[in-house]
Homo-oligomer: A and B are copies of this chain.
Amino acid sequence: MTKIVDTAAEAVANIDDGSTVLIGGFGNAGQPMELIEALLDGGATNLTVVNNNAGQADEGLALLIKERRVDKIICSFPRQSDSWHFDEAYRAGEIELELVPQGNLAERLRAAGAGIGGFFTPTGYGTMLAEGKETREINGRNYVLEYPIHGDVAILKAFKADEKGNLIYRKTARNFSPMMATAAKQTIVQVEEILPTGSLDPENIVTPSIYTDVMVAIETESTALAAREQGAK
């Protein structure tokens, strides 16, 4: 059953120190800024974070790293022009980095949610990111064995939800969130709007309600962008 809470602070209140936190988003698209801010305010520390990136500029995940709440990050693309907080922490030896090719990251999260114990992927074969990993030739192609990435908690941003916890996303802000929703023991979601159950077309649900544990309605720029798009039609 999905619990609806009133504030971001309540939503993230039971994230413990030392948790593995899956954070949705690709760059800022789909990044749950308000939940991350609440996590920052809440003080949880010694976190392992899984995200595509390692934060941009001075908001969201970047601030969690700046405040040294993140012991380890599992991501595909930490270094960007505006990843200065990560860069500093990394050069200071104050954050551990597990670098994972982006498609393997997505597939490892999916595997965790889908009960798959491991899978053979061609991505990364023969590269330094596969060093020490088991490999195998199958039907003439070379593969690396990769394992699932499970989270204690996922914090995500979706576009709309119904009260039951079914979720839809908006455009490329969908990215990693549907997999992360399945890969964590507890899934916490900020959505623009929570509609009465029955408002979303059952054919179009991206994350079924079974995966959603906690929701909070927070209006962001996405609502205005969707309204602008509606108006343009």
Contacts and interface: CB of A to CB of B under 8 A. Distances in A.
Interface of A: 107, 111, 114-122, 136, 138-139, 141, 143, 147, 168-171, 201, 203-204
Question: Is chain A's binding surface mostly helix, strand, loop or mixed?
Answer: mixed
Contact of A120 (B119, B139, B170, B203): B119
30 contacts: A107-B116, A111-B119, A115-B121, A115-B122, A116-B119, A116-B120, A116-B121, A117-B119, A117-B120, A117-B122, A117-B136, A117-B138, A117-B139, A117-B141, A117-B143, A118-B119, A118-B120, A118-B136, A118-B138, A118-B143, A119-B119, A119-B120, A138-B147, A168-B203, A169-B203, A170-B203, A171-B203, A201-B204, A203-B204, A204-B204
A170 to B, nearest CB: 8
Nearest to A142: B117
Contacts of A117: 119-122, 136, 138-139, 141, 143
Most buried by B among A119, A169, A170: A119
Nearest to A118: B120
A136 B119 CA distance: 12
Nearest to A139: B117
Contacts of A170: 203
CB-based closest 10 A-B pairs: A117-B120, A117-B143, A117-B138, A119-B119, A204-B204, A118-B120, A116-B119, A118-B138, A115-B122, A116-B121
A29 B136 CA distance: 39
A124 to B, nearest CB: 13
Contacts of A171: 203
A35 to B, nearest CB: 23
A101 to B, nearest CB: 13
Contacts of A111: 119
A119 B201 CA distance: 33
Contacts of A115: 121-122
